Amino acid sequence: MKILFGVQGTGNGHISRSRELVKKLRDSGHEIEVIISGRKEEELKEIEVFSPYRVLKGLTLVTYRGKMNYIETMFQLDLGRLMSDVLTLNVKGVDLIITDFEPVTATAARIKNIPSLGFGHQYAFQYHVPMSRGNVFERYTLLNFAPAQYNAGLHWHHFNEPIFPPVIPQSLYGNETAGAREKKVLVYLPFEEVEDVSGLLMPFDSHEFYIYGKVKEDCDDGHLHYRGYSREGFLRDLQESDGVVCNAGFELPGEALHLGKKLLLRPLDGQIEQESNALAIEKLSFGMTMHSLDEKVLREWLLKPGKDPMEYSRTVDYVAEWVTRGEWDNLPDYVEAAWADCGGLARNK
């Protein structure tokens, strides 16, 4: 099949999971063209694997100091540019559009009457999963930002719904319990200012913190280790850590659960997906949450014991098979097979 694959570029999690599925689909013989939107091309890291790809403006959300900034978000919206990109998008010969919460390709599928599949965590919210109350605007945006005809939703637990397990990078399979160092903590809080994160962590000198986010270059300051973006370095520090402090996105917590790392989530204020993820983590007893950079909560969490690995399956294998066979109305069979292939802890939860 000729597939047009849309990737939301605002978060590294979208890029991480889409990277895995695009590679699997190409290995399966499909012709894939990738559209990335939501971030400037010069700000995107390690996207060469998507070639051939195009970067479009799309839509994005503005944040400041751990909170959504809806006023700035509205000011930067360019709906005219969005519709121009949709109407001029070349879909000649395209058999299927897959969208990882990417609005240009999702809208093009609807206007140009091309079958579409939604792939990603956001599509799990089409089902009965833990969801924050939010407000009408937040709920509408989450459910209608990039809708598709068929939904391959992802979540840390199935909630007795047709939802796939998380997508885990290939490099994290087979060594789930290897290399962890006691009291090494990975910190990824990209919506916070670095000085605020440093102030939170500075008193806890019994632990070594490896801090990613708004860091331009590597440097060390006692027990605080600042690291610039490196996918390889990030995954290595993740494997070596015994705990992860991060925003309440989806991919990194899923990778941490897969490897058996204890979790402390700080949801982005006013972002319904992250607030819903924090709610789910607490309901599932998979980790702790803090709704500000809270020294008291961090101290309590640091004393918590480690976790057993969830050992999620190779989700992209089952999604790719579902896509390839064209049995898009038969989603539950593929979901059930994916969960049956998980390790005992994930399968039996």
Q: Are residues 197 and 235 in the same domain?
A: yes
CATH of the domain at 184: 3.40.50.2000
User: Is residue 265 a part of any domain in this protein?
Assistant: yes
**pLDDT for the residue numbered 136:** 78
**pLDDT for the residue numbered 269:** 86
User: Is residue 218 a part of any domain in this protein?
Assistant: yes
**pLDDT for the residue numbered 75:** 52
**pLDDT for the residue numbered 182:** 87
Q: Are residues 270 and 343 in the same domain?
A: no
pLDDT less than 50: residues of the chain: none
User: Is residue 41 a part of any domain in this protein?
Assistant: yes
Q: Are residues 334 and 344 in the same domain?
A: yes
pTM above 0.85, yes or no: yes
User: Is residue 307 a part of any domain in this protein?
Assistant: no
Number of domains comprising the chain: 2
Q: Are residues 103 and 13 in the same domain?
A: yes
Q: Are residues 144 and 187 in the same domain?
A: no
Q: Are residues 269 and 176 in the same domain?
A: yes
pLDDT (tens digit per residue) in 124-144 = 999 999 999 877 777 877 888
User: Is residue 236 a part of any domain in this protein?
Assistant: yes
Q: Are residues 230 and 275 in the same domain?
A: yes
**pLDDT for the residue numbered 64:** 53
Q: Are residues 145 and 212 in the same domain?
A: no
Q: Are residues 126 and 66 in the same domain?
A: yes
User: Is residue 134 a part of any domain in this protein?
Assistant: yes
Contacts of the segment 250-253: beta carbons below 8 A, 24+ positions apart:
250/13, 250/121, 250/154, 250/166, 250/277, 251/11, 251/12, 251/13, 251/14, 251/16, 251/17, 251/121, 251/166, 251/167, 252/13, 252/188, 253/156, 253/277, 253/281, 253/286, 253/287
pLDDT (tens digit per residue) in 84-105 = 888 889 999 999 999 999 999 9
Q: Are residues 177 and 151 in the same domain?
A: no
**pLDDT for the residue numbered 234:** 93
**pLDDT for the residue numbered 47:** 87
**pLDDT for the residue numbered 41:** 77
The residue range of the domain holding 20 is 2-169+313-348
**pLDDT for the residue numbered 347:** 74
